[in-house]
Structure 1
Amino acid sequence: MIIEPRMRGFICLTAHPKGCEQNVINQINYIKAKGKIDGPKRVLVIGASTGFGLASRITSAFGSDASTIGIFFEKPAAPGKTASPGWYNTAAFEKQAHEAGLYAKSINGDAFSNEVKEKTFALIKEDLGQIDLVIYSLASPVRTDPTTGITHRSVLKPIGAPFKNKTVDFHTGNVTEISIDPCTEQDIENTVKVMGGEDWVMWMDGLKEANLLAPNALTVAYSYIGPALTEAVYRKGTIGRAKDHLEATAFTISDKLADIGGKAYVSVNKALVTQASSAIPVIPLYISLLYKVMKEEGIHEGCIEQIQRLFQDRLYSTSGIPTDDKGRVRIDDWEMREDVQAKVAVLWEEATTESLPAIGDLEGYKTDFFNLFGFKVGGINYEESVEEIVEIAGLQ
């Protein structure tokens, strides 16, 4: 079938298998070009099919020759209907990994559930024995607590007072004012249940109890802080409370892993175009301006560049793992440079529908967004009919 992007609001309902495959190959080639990392050899990535999770799996496999198990919740294709992009990404990754002689298997299901955890533990025990790195990179907006059976839904809202600021519809380029009403206490509790550290602890407890963690094992979860411009709706809003919980959880897990020399970290990453961030008011406008500044400074990074630097210069550096005063690994250091943020703040005040094409990088934002779904990728003939049904070779 000939596959074109089909939009509903800020969501793309279709994905292109060849475009997704080329995206994965491009990331693999980047990692190969950067050279080997003296890193992990047996890696579990929870949330492995897109964004930072996918980049972590690629970096582990092609940077450190690691065996990888990926966990995700993706939709396979049906005749005349495309799979979700994460499905195509994983199929492409596993094809490349297997051709390179690397172990790669995957489990598709709800990572919050006990069933998926038990299935994962059994696979590790049978195939790898133990894991020396666990990446926790889930981005689901909904979680059913496996203990209570209650389904919790996260919300993106400010706390205490309404939030008003600029945003942009990145499809049209229209810059408008937006207002978001404050949350309730129940909203905070639900968002922490979904996006906080409770499930991370459950994964690590299960792995340790089953003796599936190697001595000195690391586990890393991903977070974001961002600038003052976005903090009312992000870091000081409901999601921020969840991120606070996630970051506090790292210390809890580290205490639990102390007897095997293990350690848990939260890596604070850069603002990037993801399916989740595209739906957050204010963020697309901020990223458009940020991209413009960081590209002009020669310090722009996508997911794969961020994670390669995280592994090479932080997690597996010979000089140890540097952290900030709250124990976090900061790979958002280039984004948060004072000169970068000062320039973005000036551009923010100037941003209008008319000025944005000149002062921002809305085209770069749009390209990155469509790339997530395998569209607007260089070298792909989108007028050519392609097979929409693609199998994942190592799917369990």
Structure 2
Amino acid sequence: MIIKPRTRGFICTTSHPVGCEAQVQEQIDYVLQQPGIEGPRNVLVIGASTGYGLSARIAAAFGAKANTVGVYRPSQATEKRTASAGWYNSVAFEKAADAAGLKSFSVTGDAFTQETKAKTVELIRQELGQVDLVVYSVASARRTLPDTGETVNSVLKPIGPAYTNKTVNFHTGEVTEVTIEPATEAEVKNTVEVMGGDDWELWMNELAVGGVLTENVTTIAFSYIGSEITKAIYRDGSIGQAKDHLEATALKLNGKFAAGGGRAFVTVSKALVTQSSSAIPVVPLYVSALYKVMKEKGLHEGCIEQIYRLFADRLYYGAQVPVDEQGRIRIDDWELREDVQAEVAELWSKVTSDNIEELTDLAGYRREFFQLFGFETDGVDYDADVNPIVDNPKAI
């Protein structure tokens, strides 16, 4: 099969196994070029196949030489349909970890279910004994609640009045004005149930009851605050309520595990190109302007650079992890620098369809979007015939 990107709105429906493998290797190479991390020995990453979860698994394995377990949804290919990028990423990671002599295991399933949790506990018990780092990086639009069986959906909407601002179709470069209607109370509640801290806490409780956590376990989950431009749609919106709940959960988990030296943190990261963020009005335009400014200042980081800095300069740098007044680890500090935000705001006020390519890094945004799916990667022949079916013999 000759695999080309096929888009439907803000979704790419195909992915490229060779391109995904090349990008995983790029992340590994970056970590191997950095000083080693005196960090975890056995790591569980829940939501391990893309984004920050994948980068955390790579940094732990190739930076700290840790053994890893990754949990992610199965999405194998057929002769007519490619697998997901996450599937190809995970196969590539397993292959590289084996070559490096590192233990790695994959549990495939819905992270929200009790079945997946139980499978993971049993695998850790049999293969690693215990884990000393748990990374929770689940990003999903829906969740089936364990108590009721009801499936609820999250929304990315403002709370209060409707919100109007600029947005861009990043495929065409057309800048328009968009108005987003506010979330209902029910939508806010559902968003918290999907994207808040409930499932993180369930995972930690299940792992603790199963006896597969070290006494001094560290656990982290990811959040975002962002700028004034995105505040109404993000931090002050429905997703912000979920992130508030996530942060409250971290404090709760800290209380639960502190007696044995355990720690729980929410890590606030910078804005990046992701499949979910590309569908949020306003955000692609903001990220395009942010990339322009941060690249010119030599401050730009992708997932792997952010995660390496989190591990090497925060979590495992010294006895005391630097946190803000809410107890959060901040690796969004460069994004929110006053000079960076001032320049982004200036670009925002000027950008139109006519000058967007000049004023922002929309081209970089587009390229990173397609790279999420294994496309536009240097050194890959996209005209070559490839087999989309790639097995992962380590996945259970």
Do Structure 1 and Structure 2 share a fold, with TM-score over 0.5? yes
Q: Give ranges in structure 1 of 5+ residues lacking alignment.
A: none
Contact 1:95 / 1:393 at 8 angstroms: preserved in 2? Answer: no
The answer on 1:261 being equivalent to 2:261 is yes
What is the Cα deviation at residue 355 of structure 1? 1.2
Aligned to 1:250: 250
Residue equivalent to 1:310: 310
Gaps of 5+ in 2: none
* Partner Cα distance (2:117, 2:376) in 1: 36
Query: Number of aligned pairs?
Result: 396
For residues 1-396 of structure 1, the aligned pairs below 5 Å read 1-318=1-318, 320-396=320-396
Task: For 1:253 and 1:209, locate their aligned partners in 2 and report how far apart those are by CA, in whole Å.
Answer: 14
Runs of 4+, deviation exceeding 4 Å: none
In 2, the alpha carbon distance for the partners of 1:126 and 1:390 equals 26
Please give the alpha-carbon distance, in whole angstroms, between the structure 2 residues aligned to 1:211 and 1:258.
16
SS in 2 for 1:34: coil
Task: Give the C-alpha shift of residue 210 in structure 1.
Answer: 1.5
Residues in 2 aligned to 1:319 and 1:40: alpha-carbon distance in whole angstroms: 14
Contact 2:265–2:328 (Cα < 8 Å) also in 1: yes
Distance 1:226 1:74 in 2: 32
Q: Secondary structure at the match of 1:102?
A: coil
Over residues 231-283 of structure 1, what are the superposed CA-to-partner deviations in whole Å (9 max), with x where a residue is unaligned?
A: 11110000000000001110001111122211100000010001111111100
Query: SS in structure 2 opposite 1:291?
Result: helix
Equivalents in 1 of 2:35, 2:87: separation in Å?
27
TM-score (norm 2): 0.99
Letter paired with 2:22: Q
Query: What is the CA deviation profile of residues 3-23 of structure 1, one whole-angstrom value per residue up to 9, with x for unaligned ones?
Result: 000111000000000000000
**Aligned equivalents of 2:206 and 2:375: distance in 1?**
39
Amino acid at match of 1:74: P
Q: Offset at 1:394?
A: 1.4
Identical amino acids, percent of aligned pairs: 57
| Contact 1:192 1:245 (C-alpha < 8 Å) held by counterparts | yes
**1:319 Cα deviation (Å)?**
5.1
Q: 1:318: Cα distance to partner?
A: 2.0
Cα distance in structure 1, aligned partners of 2:319 and 2:146: 40
Distance 2:131 2:248 in 1: 23
The answer to whether the Cα contact below 8 Å between 1:152 and 1:194 also exists between their aligned partners in 2 is yes
CA RMSD, aligned part only?
Answer: 0.7
Aligned partners of 1:94 and 1:393 also within 8 Å: no
Maintained 8 Å contact 2:168/2:176: yes
* Residue 306 (structure 1) shift: 0.3
Q: Deviations over 1:117-155 (max 9, x none)?
A: 000000011111111000000000100011211111001
- How far apart, CA to CA, are the structure 1 residues paired with 2:354 and 2:223? 33
Give 1:320 deviation, angstroms: 2.2
Contact 2:215 2:257 in 1 (8 A): no
SS of the aligned residue for 1:157 comes to coil
Paired residue type of 2:287: I
